[in-house]
Every structure is written in structure tokens, then in C-alpha cells.
Homo-oligomer: A and B are copies of this chain.
Amino acid sequence: MRLECYNLNYTYPDSEVPVIRDLSFSMETPGFNAVFGPSGVGKTSLAKLIAGMEPGFSGKIITTGIDTILYSYNLERLPGWSGTGNHLDKVTPDGKQQLKDRLISIFELKNILESRFSKLSMGQQNRINLVRYLLQDFDLLIMDESLANVDEKLRETIILSIKDLFPAKMFLYISHNLMEVSGLCRDVLVFGKPSGNKGCSIIGGRDYTKGYQPDKETLDRTMLEIMNAI
């Protein structure tokens, strides 16, 4: 099971400059992988191509063994006519009740299940949105800054739990947090600065799991490696 891209090129319909130029990479699944790079470099665009939301690219995206791809992002909203807990129940497939309760407790959402989405803080909105995606059936879940407004500590707990709970799934985590990406992810697809000539490369992260003992030195090395690839 691999996610492979070959010679991907993409230009937005009403734009002239391509956002993605001749991108090729390959990632093994399952695993918690990341996409990293400066703002505006094309991470979201790539994610949408992989999720099949933007047609009209050239090149190949091969997803062997990956049938269901979900794309989630941090600005999504839940409908407002009832509490978020209610919406969560509605989209929980049969048999995943326990998983739901587990996630609610990990994501620290117990107290806000009664609230309407619009009354939540930004981090709460991020979390409730991500939970409903995790409850769906998927092979690959793209999380485009899905936890951007959550505090670092909780974010780490969440990511480690996701890795623990979904060992057989693939994740593509888009984040601007270098430490997180270096420490918690397996393969990191790093986008070089468009102005530079670095292109894209895949760098191995530390892929820590629950209860890890941080090894400062190797982590720093990975971080440096990633920064150099930009």
C-alpha cells in the first residue's frame, strides 16, 4: 500500500503560475505522515489534488489500497441547529459508539457537547470537527491544519492517541509546527521555498509513539534536516 505521485503539475484555472511543479514522491502506508513547508507553497493544493477535489492536473497520483480519502481543514463548521454532540451522534456509524466516547474524552470535548458550534472557541471548533472525521471509514485522512488553533500539549496528546487508535490508517498531517512534525510523524514531505531551487523531498521524522522518551539530539538533527530542505 503506497501513495505515489509522479510528475504532478497543477495550475489553478484562473491563474498563470503553476502551484505544483513536477512533483514526484512516494509514501508507504499506513502511517502518520506530514506535509511541511512555508506558507503559500502549495500544501493545501496538493492535498486537494490527492483528495480528488481539483481536477485538471497533469501527472499521476497512484493510491493502491487506498480507497477512501477524506480531506479535513480547520475552517470547517458544523451546522448550527443543534448541539455539537447531537451532530456527532448523527454521523457516527453503527458500532463506533465506543470509539466516539473514547475520542471525546481524549479531545477533551465532554463539556461542550451541548453547545452550538458557533459558541465554541476556535480550538474547540477544530477538535469537534476532527473527531467527526476520525469516526468515518477512511484509508487516508488529510488533516489540513486541522488542529491549528489547539494548544500544543493537547495537540500532542491527540496526535499520539490517533497513532495509537488507528495504526492501520494513513494520515497526511499539514502543520506549521516543526517540532511536532519532526517528532511525531514518520515521513515528512517538505516543500522547498518556491524562490529557492530545493524542490520537494521526503525526510524521515522520529515517529514517536505514546509514552516516548524524547531524545533531544536526534530530534534536533531531524529538525535541522527539515529546515535545510526548505
Contacts and interface: CB of A to CB of B under 8 A. Distances in A.
Interface of A: 12, 14-15, 37-41, 43-44, 74-75, 112, 119-124, 126-127, 145, 148-155, 176-179, 227, 230
Contacts of A152: 176-178
A41 B121 CA distance: 8
Contacts of A43: 121
Given A148-B148, A177-B177, A112 B154 contact: no
Contacts of A75: 75, 122
A148 to B, nearest CB: 5
A121 B154 CA distance: 26
Chain copies in the assembly? 2
Q: Is the interface of A mostly helix, strand, loop or mixed?
A: loop
Given A148-B148, A176-B149, A178-B152, A40 B120 contact: yes
**A12, A40, A230 — which one has the most chain B CB atoms within 10 A of its CB?**
A40
Given A39-B121, A39-B154, A122-B145, 15 more contacts: A12-B119, A14-B119, A38-B123, A38-B151, A39-B123, A39-B124, A39-B126, A39-B150, A40-B121, A75-B75, A75-B122, A145-B148, A149-B176, A152-B177, A155-B176
